[in-house]
Amino acid sequence: MQKKIYTVSQLTKDIKQLLEDSFPIIWISGEISNFSMPASGHYYFTLKDSQAQISSVMFRGQNQHLKFTPEHGMGVTGLGRISVYEPRGTYQIIFEYLEPKGIGSLQIAFEQLKKRLSDEGLFDDAYKKTMPCLPGKITVITSPSGAVIHDIINISKRRFANAHIEIIPVKVQGKGAEKEIVSGIKLLNTRADSDVAILARGGGSLEDLQAFNSEDVARAVFASRIPIISAIGHETDYTISDFVADLRSPTPSAAVELVLPVKTDVKQTIAEYYKKLILLITGQIESHRICIKNMTNQLTDPKKRIDHLRFKSDDFYQRLSRIFFKTLEQSRERHMWRTNELKLKNPGMQIKNYNNEIKRYNEILVNSLKSLMYTKKSGLCVLNGKLNVLSPTAILDRGYSITRTVPDSIIVKDAKNVSSGQDLEILVSKGLINCQVKGNPQNGNPKDL
């Protein structure tokens, strides 16, 4: 036969399996020593009796539910399982539950049921139904007599005056209570017209609360489609129903507070929302209005520019007119000046000069002719004088006369030259005598005379 050689790990693994399979969960009692609770919140202690001791631990998740705090030297009974810690080769008991030594079987049964249901998942949060925030109808499963229902009704009235409360009357203790509670819950679900139910009972001993620790009730609560609040006993009392219920209330009156809002509070909340809505929308409108107004005010720009441009345009216009009229005025002046110049250069002077010249010429003409005439006249005068002096008739003045034939005007110097009857004229100093020869003229010497 061949020798089997274990490795340490293999052996430890086998021991672990052996131990943990053989003692899955056990009740054990002993005395606590070396109790300690580090920051982690887990309990570490040694459980011992006169001959032996075992390392023990109770983790925080479990020790929270303990209704007492363990201490050195305390005798306890607990529910736990053996666990081997391979790296160190040690074993210990991990406690799920502990109670002071001397507790009855009822308690043990409670714990066992709780454990079972818990393992089934009946307590899981995933199954917990949410509470309505405004239940239209609340069903109270409880005893119709007694203080509990009255407290519930009174508190309901205070919180929500027009609440609808329905009572399913059940026995809450004693024989048949379990059944009644279960059928009440079933009735609740059959009618299915409530929004929430309160399973309620006043405080009492563990025995008094026995119906609520029953598996049937727990399963009925779990099965309910309508959310159930458990409100059983006092604040310190825990029942199985409390764990299964969708919500646990420490007292029946507190259950009402959990399920029923204060009407005025809700009204106020709605009113606040309403006010806020109005405030927000009007605020937005108002801020938009201000924004539009500001922007619109900023828009009134072109008028200023128009005024400015008008100034500019008017200035151009005035400058234009001014310059042009200046140009026109200058042209007029230029024209006037030229015209005056022209007028000054008119032929008047020339005409005047010519006139003077003509006048002078006229004078010369007249004077020249005058002097010529004068010369001629005086020449004639001289000749006339001379002629008069030399006149042959001058001697006639001394008495001489001249006899001439007529018409031949031959001077008669010889009487022979005349014949009787012949016409003669005799020139005397003054005048002319016509006469006729009378007789035969005699020859003779004038000296004869």
Partner 1 sequence: MATQKTFEQSMKLLEQIVEQLESSELPLEKALKKFEEGIKLSKYCSEKLDEIEKKVTILLQDQDGNYIETPFMSEND
Applying the rule CB under 8 A, the residues between 221 and 260 that interact with partner 1 are none
Q: Does 18 bind partner 1 (CB under 8 A)?
A: no
Task: Give the residue with the Cβ less far from partner 1, 115 or 164.
Answer: 164
Kindly tell me which residue out of 26, 262, 281, 432 binds partner 1, with binding defined by CB under 8 A.
281
Q: Which positions from 401 through 420 interact with partner 1, judged by CB under 8 A?
A: 402, 410-411
Q: Does 448 bind partner 1 (CB under 8 A)?
A: no
End-to-end alpha carbon distance in the chain:
265
CA pair distance 272, 268, nearest whole angstrom: 6
CA distances from 298 to 183, 291, 292, 304, 441 (A): 79, 11, 10, 12, 166
Q: Does 101 bind partner 1 (CB under 8 A)?
A: no
- Contact predicate 404/424, CB 8 Å: yes
CA pair distance 107, 383, nearest whole angstrom: 216
CA dihedral 247, 251, 253, 256 (to 10 degrees): 0
Q: Phi and psi at residue 98, in whole multiples of 5°?
A: -140, 145
Q: Does 449 bind partner 1 (CB under 8 A)?
A: no
Task: Give the residue with the Cβ less far from partner 1, 18 or 290.
Answer: 290
Q: Which positions from 115 through 144 interact with partner 1, judged by CB under 8 A?
A: 132-137, 144
Kindly tell me which residue out of 3, 303, 438, 447 binds partner 1, with binding defined by CB under 8 A.
303
Number of residues forming the site for partner 1 (CB under 8 A): 121
Kindly tell me which residue out of 1, 5, 39, 299 binds partner 1, with binding defined by CB under 8 A.
299
Residue with tokens 């006339």: 384
Task: Give the residue with the Cβ less far from partner 1, 116 or 334.
Answer: 334
Q: DSSP code of 125? A: G
Task: Give the residue with the Cβ less far from partner 1, 26 or 373.
Answer: 373
Closest listed residue to residue 74, CA positions, set 101, 41, 109: 101
Shortest reach from residue 418's CB to partner 1, in Å: 15
CA pair distance 256, 253, nearest whole angstrom: 5
Task: Convert residues 52-81 into a mask of x (bound to partner 1 by CB under 8 A) and - (unbound).
Answer: ------------------------------
- Contact predicate 148/251, CB 8 Å: no
Shortest reach from residue 141's CB to partner 1, in Å: 10
Residues 6+ apart with CB under 8 A from 36: 43, 44, 45
Q: Does 304 bind partner 1 (CB under 8 A)?
A: no
Q: Which positions from 146 through 205 interact with partner 1, judged by CB under 8 A?
A: 149-150, 153-154, 160-169, 187, 191-195
Kindly tell me which residue out of 369, 432, 433, 435 binds partner 1, with binding defined by CB under 8 A.
369
Shortest reach from residue 410's CB to partner 1, in Å: 7
Q: DSSP code of 74? A: -
Q: How many CB atoms lie within 10 A of CB 151?
A: 19
Q: Does 317 bind partner 1 (CB under 8 A)?
A: yes
